[in-house]
Every structure is written in structure tokens, then in C-alpha cells.
Amino acid sequence: MPKILSYAAVQNGQPTRASLEGLSRARELAQARGAGLAAVVLAPDAEAHAEVFGRYGAQTVYAVSDPVFKTHLNTPVLEALEAVIGRAEPEVVVFPSTEGVKDVLGALAVRTGGTVLPDVSEVEVRGDGAVEGLRPVMASKFLARVRAEGAPVLVSVRAGSYEATEAPTEATVEPVPFSFDQGSLRQTLREVATSAAGAVDLSDARVVVAAGRGVKDEAGKQLVEELAEVLGAAIGASRAVVESGMFPATAQIGQTGKVVSPDLYVGVGLSGAIQHVAGMVNSRVIVAINNNPDAPIFDVATYGIVGDLYQVLPPLIAALKEQNVAV
Amino acid sequence: MKFCVCIKQVPDVTAPIQIRDGALQMDAGRVVLNAYDASAVEAALVLTEAHGGEVEVVLIGPEKATETIRKALAMGAHRATHLVVDEGAALDSHAVSELLARHFEGADCDVILTGKQAQDTDAGLAGAMLAERLGRPYATNAVGLGLDGEAVVVTRQGDTGQETIALPTPCLVTCSNDMNDPRIPNLRGVMQAKKKPLDARPVAEAPAPRVQTLGYEPLPSREPGVRLDGEPAEQAADLVRRLADASVL
Ligand SMILES: Cc1cc2nc3c(=O)[nH]c(=O)nc-3n(C[C@H](O)[C@H](O)[C@H](O)COP(=O)(O)OP(=O)(O)OC[C@H]3O[C@@H](n4cnc5c(N)ncnc54)[C@H](O)[C@@H]3O)c2cc1C
Ligand SMILES: Nc1ncnc2c1ncn2[C@@H]1O[C@H](COP(=O)(O)O)[C@@H](O)[C@H]1O
């Protein structure tokens, strides 16, 4: 039986939302194709996650457990995925499009003799086994319809492209023996710096508040933080305020930064340059607060407020607090 | 240390672009040096200025892409190789990395730098593909690059933070534009660039791409938005009511 394999990234002991979205889409593809569905997870305690993947429909869970997966390093990830792909012989492997995945996809394609369709917003498997997808190009001004042949086809799916939906199955766990030779590792991880705001992956957040250059000082930053707090939002940023050092690079949304597609995105004092919009245009509801009525962010905003953020945010925070009390 | 930087000429995404019959229509003259590659060139220049060494740039592209090579030379790169392909040759990351691997096989190059992605296609694959073909250790999405004795030290932007990784040479690093602000060539640089060695070699046989582009489509359009008027307090109340109605609070 042909097989579709889905790679699940684990963060803070949980599979990420984007991983479950990918797994859900992989299940639909497998059903349409009459194929089996397997998941692969790399973690210090990979077996512990098997139950979750069964809940989303994985019939087999390839579990690769090793302490080395506590932090990301491309060599062990490549070796483990190569081993699992060799064992499962999938036609298609679905990945969430995270930085960790982007780090290995190209090399994995060369190792497995496969083909990559990176960062798609839609994916289908055709009758002949070819994989077709839509992917944003030209700073997300357009979609390109692309087609890849040559199994395995490695597809990475943008966060928010599909819903994560459960379809419980009894999953069989297949522990994959993995011994990693530290001596062969031609790279050394010297340090991992997790940004305070970054412990929750922005791509997984349901609500995002993003700040731009209009947020000029500590007082402005504090307003943004208060707004994020009342909304239960993750904080994002434009490149301008990452460059200035006001926000960590982990918060950057856009072509260089992350792709987010929350239910609610609030952009505060950012202009909406195409490279920023590339990372947030698929958000369900977009709110823009900017004092320039001609700022391009208003072209994609569901609700626009033309005004000075220092004047607009305090009453907005107050009104949201009241609303929180009321519900 | 010798740095080799792979650079791509890309269409300027800020220029007007239309779709006609599934194809992109734009001014063929509006092209730029891929922003991520410009950051890679800058990083190589900074390190060789501080520690000695040489910077070579390598570009696969049609004849007219020479202007992009000149730009990198004007920034300060010492020499260039131009692997010349036909105008309109369909090259994906797979084919590009294969051509680059042929070029680098046996070449003397301590550190290969690429951009983390091409600005037009955002594929982000050729770097790691090339490293794997050459059997080099690599790191992607570098926001910082330094030398520590014989080791290349990379700070990479990961999902929830930054990882600092030491690589031995020979190695490969893909660069983010968050790493630096590439210098703008000055007149002297532009003049010197004309005299720098540029080795142009026609590519006899380009590998077939694995990924075909079938056509282009516009993005699905969003519902037109609503501007909320009034004093800040009224705008706030109006917005909260609408967000509650849309069940996003
Ligand atoms: C290859 C490439 C990749 C890039 N990738 C990214 C990316 O991933 N993410 C990203 O964000 N950018 C990216 N950029 C940069 C992008 O082009 C813009 O430069 C950047 O997004 C601008 O940030 P900004 O909107 O905060 O600043 P600006 O464009 O300066 O906008 C600031 C806005 O704040 C408004 N404002 C000022 N004061 C106030 C106030 N008191 N109240 C309300 N509004 C106010 C102004 O009207 C203005 O619209 C990239 C660029 C390139 C070339
Ligand atoms: N035609 C090309 N010539 C030289 N280098 C290239 C070319 N295409 C891509 N690259 C390099 O590979 C990187 C990633 O490209 P891509 O995989 O297409 O996103 C780019 O940033 C360049 O450094």
C-alpha cells in the first residue's frame, strides 16, 4: 500500500498546531488515494506523543527517541528522517513549514533522491502520484501552481493552510532504533538563546499583535504588550523594529520572518510593506492601526483605524478589559 | 580564508507585475541582486577585511545577469564566475544546486555562502542541497557569522530562538538579510569592478528541473475592509463590538 508520511514537530512537549494541520491534510490525501498514513516524530521521548497522532488519524507512528532532539541540529534530524523514509518508503512526506524543517528539506531531498515542494498553501496528490501545489511567490503577490514528480515528494505546508481535525485511529508505535555518533558530528551547538517572547511559536498563535516603526519608545512598546495581554496574543513585529532591537528577531513576521495566519491579527504602527504582508495576509480578521490613511496595510485590513497609536491603544485596551469582564 | 558566495539575479518584486494567460508579465529590465545574497556578500567582505582572504561570487544566469555580478564586484568581491545559461532556462533549486556542485567540486573554497532563499520564488533549498551534494556541514538562516580560530561560528534564527553553531571548514552557510545592511557600491568600487576578473563559462547541459511551474494565479482577494471613524474611545468601542461579533475575542 502506498504510504503518506507526516512529520510532526514537537515544542514544549506538544506537537505544534502547524504539525497537526499538516497531519490532518496528509490524512485527507491518504484517504483520497487509498493510502496508509504514518507520522514520524523525533523527540527525547518520541513514544510519549504517539497517542496524539493516533487521534489525528496516523495508523503508524515512527518514534525516534534520542536526547539530541531536545534542541535542533540539522545532522541528527537528517539522519533520523533518512532512516524513517528508508523504512516507510512513502510517496509523499508532509511537513509543517517551520525554520527547523526549512533547515533540512533541501539536504533531505538530495539524500533520499526525492523532490521538494516547499512552503505550499495548498497540496493535492494526482492519480499518477505527482504532487501539485500552490505556493506564494514574488513576496506573496502571486500564487504559482507547481508540480513535482519523483518519490518521495517532500512537501512543506504553510501554517494555517488547513484545519487541524481529529479522526481517531488505533496507532501502532514503531520505535526506530537510532544511535547517534557524536564523534561524526561535524557541527557543535554552542548556545541556544530562547527569546522571552518566543517560547510560544508565533506561527501557532490564534491571536497576534504586531508592532512596527510607529511604536517609537518604551511607552509604545508597553501599550503593545498590554494589548497583547488583554487579547491573549503572541507578539509579532515588522523588520524595522526587529532591526532597531526593540523586538526579538523571533517575532518578525513576513518574507524573512514567519508566516502567521491567526484568527485575529492586529498591526500597530506598521505600514504593510509587501514583505510584511507576505507573512500575515491569510489571517482571518486583520485590524490595522496607523496614522497615515494611505498606508498599504489598510488595503488588506478587515477593520482599519486611522489614528495615533498612542491615542488609540489606551481606550482600546480599556474597552477590551471591560469586554473580558463581561464574558 | 576563501569565501565563495552564490548570487542570483532576481526580478524586482516591487516593480509592477501582471498575470497574462497564466504567465507573469513584467519589465525584464527591473532586476536586482537577491537581497539575501547581498547580505551574504556583505558578510564575506566584512570577514575577509578583518581576517584576510578572498571573496569570489558565482552566478548562474543568462548573459544579461553580468550586471548583477558587477554589482557584487563593486561592493568589493574580488573575482567572479558566471555560469552562463540561456535566457528563460527553467532552473529550480535542484538544478541550480547540481550546477553549483559541479562548479565547486574540487574547487578551493573554505566557506560557501548562499542566501537563505531567492527573493522571487522563496524556495530556500539550493543552499542545503548544495551542501549535501558536496558533503559539507552547513547551517541555514544565519543572522550572525564570525570566525573563531579555524571554526566558522553561525548564529541562526530558529523557530523559538537563536542557535549558535560552530562548523569546521570546508562548510556552507545560508544567510538571512537580518544579518547586516549590505553596503551600497561607491563610484570607486564601480570603476574597479570593471577591471576585476570575471570568468564566464557557458553551461553545456543544464540539468532538468524536478519542479515544474504550471502557471501563476492571483491571490484570493479579501473582503473590502471597513474604516472605523470617530474619537479614539468610539473607535475602540466599535472595534471591540465588531471583534466580538466576529467571535475572534
Ligand atoms: C528581501 C526583504 C525581506 C523582508 N522581509 C521582511 C519581513 O519578513 N518582515 C517585515 O516586516 N519586513 C520585511 N522587509 C522590510 C519591509 O520592506 C519594510 O521595510 C518593513 O516591513 C517596514 O517596517 P514598518 O512597517 O514597521 O516601518 P515603516 O514602513 O516605516 O512604517 C511605519 C508606519 O507606522 C506609522 N506610524 C508612525 N507613527 C505612528 C503613530 N504614532 N501611530 C500610528 N501609526 C504610526 C506610519 O504611518 C507608517 O505607516 C523585507 C525587505 C526585503 C527587501
Ligand atoms: N541562479 C543562481 N545562481 C547562483 N546562485 C543561486 C542561483 N539560484 C539560487 N542561488 C543561491 O541559492 C540560494 C537559495 O535559492 P533558492 O533555493 O532558489 O531559494 C540563493 O539565495 C542563492 O545564494
Residue having the nearest C-alpha atom to atom 12 of ligand 2: B126
Nearest-CA distance from B191 to chain A in Å?
A: 32
**CB of B117 sitting under 6 A from ligand 2:** yes
**A259: contact with B, CB 8 A cutoff:** no
Q: Residue type for B90, please?
A: A
Judged by CB atoms closer than 8 Å, whether chains meet at B162 and A104 is answered as no
Is the pLDDT at A277 greater than 60, yes or no?
yes
Return the pLDDT at A11: 86
The Cα–Cα gap between A10 and A16 comes to 6
Return the pLDDT at A203: 87
| Out of A42-46, A191-195, A268-272, A290-294, least confident range | A191-195
Q: How many CA atoms lie within 13 A of B37 on its CB side?
A: 29
Residue A174's Cα: distance from chain center in Å? 26
Is the pLDDT at A192 greater than 50, yes or no?
yes
B95 contact residues in A (CB cutoff 8 A) = none
Return the pLDDT at A196: 57
The CB-based long-range contact list for B62-67 (8 Å cut-off, 24+ gap) reads B62/B86, B62/B87, B62/B88, B62/B89, B63/B87, B64/B31, B65/B9, B65/B31, B66/B198, B66/B200, B67/B9, B67/B31
Contact A189, A68 (CB under 8 A): no
φ, ψ (nearest 5 deg) of residue A226: -65, -40
Is the pLDDT at A97 greater than 90, yes or no?
yes
- Nearest atom, ligand 2, residue B34 CA: 21
Question: To probe the interface with A, which of B169, B211, B227 has the most A CB atoms within 10 Å?
Answer: B211
Q: Are strands A264-268 and A207-211 parallel, antiparallel or unpaired?
A: parallel
Percentage of the residues of chain A whose pLDDT score is greater than 70: 98
Whose grid coordinates read 505556493? A135
Contact A295, A238 (CB under 8 A): no
pTM for this prediction: 0.97
Percentage of the residues of chain B whose pLDDT score is greater than 90: 92
Q: Are strands B226-227 and A3-8 parallel, antiparallel or unpaired?
A: unpaired
What tens digit of pLDDT does each residue of B110-169 get?
Answer: 999 999 999 999 999 999 999 999 999 999 999 999 999 999 999 999 998 999 999 999
Q: Residue type for B134, please?
A: L
Return the pLDDT at A184: 78
Ligand nearest to the CA of A215: 1
- Interface ipTM > 0.90: yes
Judged by CB atoms closer than 8 Å, whether chains meet at A195 and B161 is answered as yes
